[in-house]
């Protein structure tokens, strides 16, 4: 029980590490919290610092979710315990203890927690995400499509044990994207491809 409790705490602390801030400030001298969309995520870091730094941020945020969940599966694969570890990692990203309990929008870390849990359903959701971004130009819309479709892909694959976790993370991501949703409805959301701003 102690080991499991420690792992949940570790997942939260690891999730709290703001890699977008660390990478942007160290490599570019830019604080993503005060520039661009003011998000610490890979999309804003990529806009501010360049594609490579955005990819590095994405990789780190994925690992924040994947590593503790992978450890949890090795310690005790009970779905409830693994789901608690996963939620702790995502909540750490959203409410970082290193940033006065503020943080990112949880997409990359949510993807990370499902990498060791349900790779093929996740791949289907990621493919849909990329299609939506390609067709619309909006990363936020793609992200919402990814988390919104993941429960469906899990159900199709028969991975019912992870359905409550996917629904929980879907709610967190949609709440964190409420401003993006409002801008999408108003037609003022910034597209990923600047050339589409007047399309």
Quick: pLDDT tens for 96-133: 999 999 988 999 999 999 999 999 999 999 999 999 99
- Asked if pLDDT for residue 22 goes beyond 70, the answer is yes
Distances (CA, A) of 74 to 71, 83, 102, 129: 5, 14, 30, 30
**Residue among 172, 2, 155, 194 at smallest CA distance from 86:** 172
Burial of residue 116, with CB atoms counted within 10 A of its CB: 0-12 exposed, 13-18 middle, 19 or more buried? buried
Would you place residue 19 in the very low, low, confident or very high pLDDT band (cuts 50, 70, 90)?
very high
Q: What is d(CA 144, CA 127) in angstroms, rounded to the nearest whole number?
A: 13
12-26, 57-71, 181-195: least confident range: 181-195
Residues β-bridged to residue 96? 102
Q: Average pLDDT, stretch 55-68?
A: 96
Which pLDDT does position 134 carry in this prediction?
93
Residue at token pair 């909006």? 138
Express as a percent the part of the chain with pLDDT over 90: 77
d(CA 90, CA 186): 29
Q: Whole-angstrom Cα distance, residue 140 to residue 130? A: 11
pTM: 0.90
């Amino acid at each position: 029980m102690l080991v499991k409790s420690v792992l949940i705490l570790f997942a939260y602390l690891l999730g709290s590490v703001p890699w977008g801030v660390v990478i942007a400030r160290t490599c570019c001298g830019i604080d993503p919290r005060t520039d661009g969309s003011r998000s610490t995520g890979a999309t804003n870091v990529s806009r501010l610092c360049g594609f490579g730094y955005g990819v590095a941020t994405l990789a780190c945020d994925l690992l924040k979710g994947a590593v503790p969940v992978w450890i949890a599966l090795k310690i005790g694969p009970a779905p409830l315990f693994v789901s608690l570890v996963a939620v702790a990692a995502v909540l750490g990203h959203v409410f970082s203890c290193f940033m006065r309990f503020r943080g990112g929008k949880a997409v990359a870390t949510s993807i990370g927690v499902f990498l060791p849990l349900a790779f093929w359903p996740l791949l289907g959701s990621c493919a849909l995400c990329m299609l939506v971004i390609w067709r619309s130009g909006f990363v936020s819309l793609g992200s919402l499509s990814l988390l919104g479709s993941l429960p469906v892909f899990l159900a199709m694959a028969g991975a019912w044990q992870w359905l409550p976790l996917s629904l929980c993370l879907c709610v967190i991501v949609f709440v964190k994207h409420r401003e993006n949703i409002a801008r999408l409805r108003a037609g003022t959301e910034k597209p990923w491809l600047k050339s589409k701003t007047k399309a």
